[in-house]
A and B are shown apart, each in its own frame.
Chain A
Amino acid sequence: MAPLSDETAPLNDTLALPGDALREGVVQALRDALGEGLLDSLIKPNDDVWVRVSTEAWREAGLVLRDTVGCDHFGFLSAIDWLPSPFGRGEDDPTAPAPERDTEIKQGYTGGSTRMQVFARVTNISKHFGVTIKADVPDHEPAVDSWIPVYAGANWHERECHEMFGIGFNGHPDLRNMYLPMDFEGHPMRKDFPLLARLVKPWPGIADVEPLPGDDAEDGGDA
């Protein structure tokens, strides 16, 4: 239980927007605390900071962010499946041969080595900056430590993430489904889970313009 306080947070540095030195400080603080646990970091000047920590250091990193860096406002926690979708946008011509699709898993900022990553965003309210933190989720056993001891608000986000990506959260008291029935099979937000609405109906954007009789050599369609 958090302590009771009735003070109005006084803020004088209202529009003192953070400099990049502050962001470097964040990375440095994480490096000091985690050592090897900090795998990669990216600072975009005047914009934002991304860090990636190892799976084991996920909760520890959260504690460092909260207590050392002062990011006590919890933004969100979610996951990304970096597998390119095998279905595209569902705009394929069923009569044409299936298009070639990229199957290479390529992670975004700060890299990574697994198909799925959890990521979260926390904010330092008094100094007006936020941190996006990522961690790899092991492919064979997708689970990371729960962030509930760090940010109580992570509870629902982890439930949602568990349901949508099938990622376990060690130490989460109550990983029930939020949206789907408990006996639902599959994890809808994974890229290999088809969005059926886009598969059961043919795309109406496929050109359906009859060519002139005896003119079928030309590509019929787009004008």
Chain B
Amino acid sequence: MADRKKPQVPGLLKGLAVTFNTMAQTMKPKKFGGGAATVQYPHEKETPPIRARGVIALREDNCTACMLCARSCPDWCIYIEGHKELAPPRRAGGAPRKVNKLDRFDIDYALCMYCGICVEVCPFDALFWSPEYEYSEPKIADLLHDKTKLGEWMETVPEAPELEAGAEKKKGK
């Protein structure tokens, strides 16, 4: 410590001042801009941003069981089964259309790594991100959610956010 130059205020005192100021800041009432940085979670909740990748929601009607999401999933955590069905024709007098109907659309959230590739590749706008995050389960097997559960989360899907100045208008999804 031979090379220690004497500072104006000893560093030891400066350190004490920093902790003291933080304490004062935390103890200051909320209305004066004080308060703790933490949030008392079950009582207050933070709102996640619009784009937050909380959980994947499924709009079942749009899904055609094309398997693109299951194929692009890096973790192999999407399981799809379906069957073909005759649907009423689009135009009056047309032939009945063959459509794919979903029997099973499961996402195993124990495997999912929330990369969002499935949502991105979906060509039919059937998968969406929802910022919902409170769906933990005591048992890991219960994290395999089926299409009903995924459909329920559709309600929590927000509108896409406005873009910053200078961005190009987006086309499609």
Contacts and interface: CB of A to CB of B under 8 A. Distances in A.
Q: Do A's and B's CB atoms come within 8 Å in the complex?
A: yes
Given A201-B76, A204-B76, A204-B78, A210 B83 contact: yes
B82 A210 contact: yes
B76 A203 contact: yes
Chain B binding surface, main DSSP class:
strand
A222 interface: yes
B84 interface: yes
B19 to A, nearest CB: 35
A220 B84 contact: yes
A205 interface: yes
B76 A209 contact: no
Nearest to A207: B67
Given A221-B67, A222-B66, A223-B100, A208 B82 contact: yes
Nearest to B124: A223
Name the residue among A91, A206, A209, A221 with the largest chain B CB count within 10 angstroms: A209
Interface in A166-223: 201, 203-212, 215, 220-223
B64 A204 contact: no
A222 B84 contact: no
B65 A212 contact: no
Nearest to A198: B76
Contact-size category for B: 20 to 34
Interface residues of A, number: 17
B84 A211 contact: yes
A215 B83 CA distance: 12
B84 A215 contact: yes
B98 A212 contact: yes
A16 B126 CA distance: 51
15 contacts: A203-B76, A204-B80, A205-B71, A209-B65, A209-B82, A209-B84, A210-B81, A210-B83, A210-B84, A210-B103, A212-B83, A212-B85, A212-B86, A212-B98, A222-B66
Interface of B: 64-67, 70-71, 73, 76-86, 98, 100, 103
